[in-house]
A and B are shown apart, each in its own frame.
Chain A
Amino acid sequence: MAGLTAPAARLAFRPNWWARIGWVLLAVYVVYAFGRLDFNWPRFLVGLDNGARFIGRMLPPRIAQPDSLLKGLTESLEIAVLASFIGIMLSLPIGLFAARNLMPTWASWPARALIAAARSFHPVIVAIIFVKAVGFGALAGICALVLGSIGFIGKLFAEAIEEISLKQVEAIRATGASFMNVIAFGVMPQVFSRFIGFSTYQLDSNLRNSTMVGIVGAGGIGGTLFSAFQRFDYDFVAAILLAIIAMIMVGEVLATWVRGVFLERGKVDEE
């Protein structure tokens, strides 16, 4: 085997040019955006200084107005509960209608359009519109969150239904079962656990959102929080924030318990 020329250095790893370009572009963008948003070091330092003073004023947290706090929290809770209940109830049929493998186009199209519209806007914006329509207070908040729930649960539920095995549905149809029975025994067993998962997630999400729609007047602790901010009652603000976090954590625990009882394995069933 004489006369072998030395082979060109073989690269063990081919450089991924696309990835490298991607990272460079990202770095360039960050610098660019910093400029556009007028971020600079001095501002940040001043901010940090402010921040330290701010934290000082927030601690120790003080419940300046216990009645207001309690009323706000319960109202947020109520908004979350009612909005979730109504939203879940409505999402079941709407999601069912939106499933293209079960429903004819004239039924699925409107349902899908409704779900897409419900998802398009942030709950706060929807809350503003409802405040204009039904006035200040919890009703606006409930309506806004119901729409948000339909958008979330409806979409995921429809997708779950579109992934089921139609063979099981076929077998149930072959026994002569009515439409409702086919849905109950052929479709629901396959998607029910995921529906519970989405619903508990949305309940949790509504609990968080209900604390915020008050900022635009749609009821709940958000209103209390906003007025505390405007009065510079920062220690009250801290108390309210802690109360919100506590309430949400309790909500998460409850949601996990509900999932444990209704689902076989105690967590959201993934296929």
Chain B
Amino acid sequence: MNAALDHVEARTWRRFTPRQRLARFAIYIVIVAAIIASARTVEVIPEFLIDAPEQVQDLLQRMWPIAWSHYPGGVHDALMETIHIATLGTIFAIVMALPIGLAAAYNVVPSRTVNYIAKLLLVSSRSVNSLVWALLFVAIFGPGALAGTLAIAFRSIGFVGKLFGEALEEANRGTIEALEATGAPWTSRLAWGYWPQVKPAFWSIALFRWDINVRESAVLGLVGAGGIGMALDTALNLFQWNRVAMVLFSIFAVVVIAEIVVTQIRKRII
């Protein structure tokens, strides 16, 4: 036994280092401050809030029964137009996003400046909502499906380009190195080295974006860019709630069908 027993101090255990704790604390403070500041300045009119359940009930009553008869004349064509907008928009986006996505991946284009510019383009495309793009294109090309398709396309470039660029960066370097060693030119390296590896990711991204675009296309008509949104806008402006319900239902149905289609194709391809 030790003659001089050391005082065994309580051994403490800390989950995070002091620096980590500081950072976490800082973030908590910022979050709480932001929430409190927002809650105080946001305008909430109490009367409206109390009124809300009544309003909702009123709305639902006016929507029932759903105006099924409205479908052939007012809804079907617009719905088809929406699907075309979504599909063509996605296709354009992919065509335009591929080169930009390639340019943003360092292992494909080893120039940080080019990467940066490409990434900037992609971020800008994503930051602007498809609805805002639609406003822009309606002002340029006039109301109609052209504006809608371009809006979808330009918005999706950022999405597809970013994910595609990430998939490229995760490709196995070993395979590409081997091709380089055979003396293959840059284009062949792309086609034989990168493409087979990113193919599943590519199709996954493409399908995913198409699915989202079907939803997005449905609302573009609210600003005049074609598709079912225009039928919705008309019905809303005329307060024809039964028709509104019909339009909402058809949008819902199309979205569900699109998801099923995507799931089925996914199973077969990926």
Give A contacts to B, CB under 8 Å.
26, 29-30, 33-34, 36-39, 43-44, 47, 50-51, 54, 74-75, 77-79, 81-82, 85, 120-122, 124-125, 128-129, 132-135, 137-139, 142, 208-209, 211-212, 215-216, 219, 222, 225-226, 229, 234, 237, 241, 244-245, 248-249, 252, 258, 261-262
Are A135 and B45 CB-contacts (below 8 A) given A82-B38, A249-B127?
Answer: yes
Q: Cβ of B56: which chain A residues have Cβ within 8 Å of it?
A: 132-133
Question: Contacting chain A: which of B133-141, B171-179, B189-197?
Answer: B133-141
Q: A30-B88, A82-B42 are known; give 6 further A-B pairs, CB within 8 A.
A: A37-B85, A120-B255, A133-B56, A212-B132, A234-B139, A258-B27
Q: CA of A132 to CA of B223 in the docked complex: distance in angstroms?
A: 19
Q: Cβ of A212: which chain B residues have Cβ within 8 Å of it?
A: 129, 131-132
Q: CA of A39 to CA of B150 in the docked complex: distance in angstroms?
A: 12
30 A-B contacts, Cβ less than 8 Å apart? A29-B87, A36-B80, A37-B146, A37-B149, A39-B145, A43-B141, A78-B41, A79-B38, A85-B31, A121-B215, A124-B131, A124-B219, A125-B248, A132-B55, A132-B56, A134-B49, A134-B55, A139-B44, A211-B132, A212-B132, A222-B132, A226-B135, A229-B139, A237-B136, A241-B132, A244-B127, A244-B128, A249-B123, A252-B123, A261-B24
Give the most central of A78, A229, A245: most B CB within 10 Å. Answer: A78
**B140→A211 contact, CB < 8 A:** no
Are A225 and B132 CB-contacts (below 8 A) given A47-B140, A261-B24?
Answer: yes
Q: How many A-B pairs with Cβ below 8 Å?
A: 150
**A133→B142 contact, CB < 8 A:** no
Q: CA of A133 to CA of B50 in the docked complex: distance in angstroms?
A: 10
Q: CA of A229 to CA of B87 in the docked complex: distance in angstroms?
A: 27
Which residue of chain A has the shortest Cβ distance to B50 in the bound complex?
A134
Q: Cβ of B55: which chain A residues have Cβ within 8 Å of it?
A: 132-134
Nearest CB on B from A35, distance (A): 10
Q: Cβ of A75: which chain B residues have Cβ within 8 Å of it?
A: 42
**A81→B38 contact, CB < 8 A:** yes
Are A128 and B236 CB-contacts (below 8 A) given A37-B146, A229-B139?
Answer: yes
Nearest CB on B from A144, distance (A): 12
**B41→A74 contact, CB < 8 A:** yes
The majority secondary structure among interface residues of chain A is helix
**B252→A120 contact, CB < 8 A:** yes
Partner of A37, one of B24, B44, B84, B252: B84
Q: Cβ of A222: which chain B residues have Cβ within 8 Å of it?
A: 132
Q: CA of A134 to CA of B52 in the docked complex: distance in angstroms?
A: 5
Q: CA of A73 to CA of B44 in the docked complex: distance in angstroms?
A: 17
Q: Cβ of A137: which chain B residues have Cβ within 8 Å of it?
A: 43-45, 48
Check if B101 is an interface residue, CB within 8 A of chain A.
Answer: no
Which residue of chain A has the shortest Cβ distance to B236 in the bound complex?
A128
Check if B222 is an interface residue, CB within 8 A of chain A.
Answer: yes
Q: Cβ of A133: which chain B residues have Cβ within 8 Å of it?
A: 52, 55-56, 59
**A37→B251 contact, CB < 8 A:** no
Q: CA of A112 to CA of B104 in the docked complex: distance in angstroms?
A: 38
Q: Mark B1-45, 1 if CB is under 8 A from A, else 0.
A: 000000000000000000010011001000100110111011111
Q: Mark B80-106, 1 if CB is under 8 A from A, else 0.
A: 110011011001000000000000000
